[in-house]
Amino acid sequence: MDSKVRVRFAPSPTGGLHLGGVRTVLFNYLFAKHHKGEFILRIEDTDQTRFVPGAEQYIQDTLAWCGLTPDESPLHGGPYGPYRQSERKAMYKQYADTLIEKGYAYYAFDTPEDLDAKRKEIPNFQYSRAHRMELKNSISLGADEVAVLLKNNTPHVIRIKVPENEEVSLDDVIRGHVSFDTNMVDDKVLLKADGMPTYHLAVVVDDYLMKITHAFRGEEWLPSAPVHVLLWKYLFGLDKMPKWAHLPLILKPDGNGKLSKRDGERLGFPVFAMDWTDPNTNTTTIGFKERGFLPAAFVNLLAMLGWNDGTDKEIYTIEELIAGFSLDRVHKGGAKFDYEKAKWFNAEWIKKTENEKLAPLVRPYFEEAKIEIHNPNYLVKIIGLVKERCHLLPEFVAQSSFFFTAPTTIDTASIAPKWDEKKYLFFEELVKLYVSKMETGLLTIPASTLEIEFKELVAKHELKAGELMLPFRIMLVGGKFGPGVFEIVEAIELKDTVTRIEKCLQLLSSN
RNA sequence: GGAGCGUUCGUCUAACGGUUAGGACGCCAGGUUUUCAUCCUGGUAAUACGGGUUCGAUUCCCGUACGCUCUACCA
């Protein structure tokens, strides 16, 4: 590679960023960083009718959350700005004019209504060589007539004039040689009536001006690639064209087809990276972040959707991904998204992440549940105790709320059937034991000691530990779950332990 | 309809002509956990179909089927 690698992610700001979009960002980022190149964010906001306020900010926020920060962007600036296409409007016109001068493009005066009528009249209508002469444009019309129309500011677009009987091809990095017959390609609009470029013109002009070396985009763009290749040929030369890589799609889990926002709603899992609230409808679509995914896990699972390094390794840090990434190991076929596996990735990352780093991420969920955390160190300790049973961040609340407040519901139904006087007496004496410890000034006792003392008492009462452990757990936790009983006692300390036993004893005798 | 792209366990994928077609998720069974989860062990399950090429095809070629994407003055 003779020039520095420069890649770009070019979304249009119309809503939340879905899995496929973020994965495109990720592959861009990994490729750029692997080659010590630059990653650019360019906002493609040429369609003013689809502009959604807040969407651009959302994209920036999402990239920041994922840790995929662009080197150049509307926010960060850079030497090739502006990075919003709406602010580059003037640049595109000159290239469209050049194309007209060279005879590679023409003016078209057909109204949308004209075209609709044509589409109805002719099956499989395409604005192309086959029908050009039947329409109102600077090829079919006389020069004088065109001059008048232009002089009168008649609304018009500029279309590419696709040549006849040529083969246009590109060497896609992922798919290899792909070729098209120009007779099958239609004369796409390059410059709209409002003076804004369409994607087709803008992507070519901006990729050139921004010195993009590798252009990644979703597979859905492949059918329009010949238009882009032609534009490169006419405007800047094929030798300057970036290498294309059309990425496979991310598919819905059931059936076939591209994963959509609706699939997530239907099947109950997020599709967007972060919560997205549509300002028009004021409805919020849930995101992976808010569902409780770690960004590292999210990035990891996305990377594995369509790429692998050829080994059995599945858990990767971003650094490892950068080091190992290569386009020749990206798949051609689409990948169905599996939410179960996504959760597994997150569980792995929760186990892998230090308790101290988890604490601030988990804390908001406790606040939401109105559970106060007085001691940050205590939270860190509890996280260590329960992290391996949590797949998603919010589960920390359900798995550990009893460490912070006494359980509100107690599953006495699981104790009652086998409850008897002997057990009652046992727990009464256990309380006495703990109270006596407290009177010596002890707040808590190590779990190992607690266990020994507990078993001594069990033996004294001629009972079996097995039949006492479950009741004890339920008294403390409220249900049949959670870490080791004595670790819980150690954590919540003697005073709370005693209170909880006594409360439950009352509950059991009142029934 | 047309064009382009794709196709290995249910899912994500490995095997770049020679393997009992491997791993992971899920699921099932057993063990550990005197609970649940974790963890460990084992099991389940795939080369879309038909022709070639070859001593030998998951792998290369052709065809068929199926699927997907595009077919807007949207990206």
Query: Is the CB of residue A463 less than 8 Å from the CB of residue A418?
Result: no
Nucleotide with C1' nearest the A222 CA: B4
CA A101 → C1' B51, Å? 53
CATH 1.10.10.350 maps onto chain A at: 412-510
Residues A461-481 pLDDT 10s: 999 999 999 999 999 999 999
Interface ipTM: 0.96
What architecture does CATH give domain A6-83+249-340?
A: 3-Layer(aba) Sandwich (3.40)
What pLDDT sits at residue A358?
98
CATH 3.40.50.620 maps onto chain A at: 6-83+249-340
Protein-contacted positions of strand B (CB under 7 Å): 1-8, 10-15, 22-26, 33-38, 67-75
A1 has a pLDDT exceeding 60: no
CATH 3.90.800.10 maps onto chain A at: 86-247
Choosing from A243, A261, A381, A437, which is the catalytic residue? Answer: A261
A511 has a pLDDT exceeding 80: no
CA A179 → C1' B54, Å? 30
Q: What is the mean pLDDT of residues A488-498?
A: 97
Top CATH class of A354-402 equals mainly alpha
CATH 1.10.8 maps onto chain A at: 354-402
Task: Confirm whether A313 is a catalytic residue.
Answer: no
A128 has a pLDDT exceeding 80: yes
**CA–CA separation, A56 and A60 (whole Å):** 6
CATH number of A412-510: 1.10.10.350
CA-based nearest residue to A200, from A169, A231, A239, A243: A231
Q: A86-247: which CATH topology?
A: Glutamyl-tRNA Synthetase; domain 3 (3.90.800)
Cα A204 to Cα A91, A162, A190, A225, distances in angstroms? 12, 16, 11, 11
Residues with Cβ within 8 Å of A403's Cβ and at least 6 positions away in sequence, in order, are: A378, A382, A385, A488, A491, A492
